[in-house]
Amino acid sequence: AQSVTQLGSHVSVSEGALVLLRCNYSSSVPPYLFWYVQYPNQGLQLLLKYTTGATLVKGINGFEAEFKKSETSFHLTKPSAHMSDAAEYFCAVSRSGTYKYIFGTGTRLKVLA
Partner 1 sequence: EAGVAQSPRYKIIEKRQSVAFWCNPISGHATLYWYQQILGQGPKLLIQFQNNGVVDDSQLPKDRFSAERLKGVDSTLKIQPAKLEDSAVYLCASSPRGAGEVNTEAFFGQGTRLTVV
Q: What distance in Å separates the CA atoms of residue 8 and residue 14, rounded to the nearest whole number?
A: 17
49 binds partner 1 per the rule CB under 8 A: yes
Q: Is 105 in the site for partner 1 (CB under 8 A)?
A: yes
Q: Applying CB under 8 A, does 41 fall inside the site for partner 1?
A: yes
CB 2 within 8 A of CB 102: yes
Distances (CA, A) of 94 to 49, 70, 98: 11, 18, 7
Site map (CB under 8 A) of partner 1, residues 51-70, x = contact: x-------------------
Residue nearer to partner 1 on the CB measure, 84 or 98: 98
What is the rounded (10 degree) CA torsion for 70, 75, 78, 83?
-170
For partner 1, the binding residues (CB under 8 A) are: 4, 9, 32, 34, 36, 41-46, 49, 51, 90, 92, 94, 96-106
